[in-house]
Amino acid sequence: MSAQPNGQNVVNLFVYGTLRPDDDSKAAWTHSFNNPDSYKALAEFGFIEGVKMYFSDYPVAVFTSDPNDRIYGYIISKLLIVADEIEEYPSMYDRTAVHAYPVCKETYDKKVMETNSDECVLIEKSSQNPITAYVYHRSLQHIAEVDKNLNPLAIPQNDWLRRNRQ
């Protein structure tokens, strides 16, 4: 995994599950989190690397050492305090500053449609510089200890919206 950025002055989040603006799980907080009354949040589709997605009560990112492990989601500008409360940070999830790479959503969707496997789709990084963002994550050990789940379900293609398309 490439070096992680310094977490000082990070104003963005990388959201990959029920905090995604296009989440279809009907989680109680998705709409209010993505449609705050006080301001318009910016959201840009992208990915982070060196991470796999699992499901254990909720979607969860788990760091790996393979840069070809990617989670797709959105880079958003949000107030951390709201997300921290939803994610039960720091007791349930931890957060780390990562490089998030913006990519074209239409290009990604086309590549997914052409792929007949659960393997992660690899999209070329754009020439745009990566954006530093926090990502909420857990370890497999923490999932086993806290959730009593020794075998969390791997999410196909590391994309939360693909979870029901197996």
d(CA 25, CA 160): 9
At position 130, the amino acid (one-letter code) is: P
Query: What DSSP string runs through 83-141?
Result: HHHHTTTTTS-EEEEEEEEE--HHHHHHHHHH--SSSPP--PPPSSPPEEEEEEE--HH
Q: What is the pLDDT of residues 3-18, one digit of tens each?
A: 567 667 788 999 999 9
Average pLDDT over residues 48-75: 93
Average pLDDT over residues 146-150: 91
Of residues 79 and 40, more confidence is placed in 79
d(CA 125, CA 114): 19
d(CA 153, CA 3): 28
pLDDT at residue number 1: 43
d(CA 136, CA 87): 8
Q: What is the pLDDT of residues 111-128, one digit of tens each?
A: 888 876 667 778 888 777
Tell me the pTM.
0.83
- Calculated CA dihedral for residues 110, 121, 165, 106, nearest 10 degrees: -30
CATH topology of domain 12-162: Hypothetical upf0131 protein ytfp (3.10.490)
Q: Which string of b and e fits 47-80 if b means at least 16 CB within 10 Å? A: bbbbbbbbbbebbbbbbeeeeebbbbbbbbebee
Percent of the chain with pLDDT over 90: 39
pLDDT band at 31 (very low <50, low <70, confident <90, very high): confident
Residues in a beta bridge with 62: 52
> 161, 59 in Cβ contact below 8 A?
no
> With 80 as the cut, is the pLDDT of residue 165 above it?
no
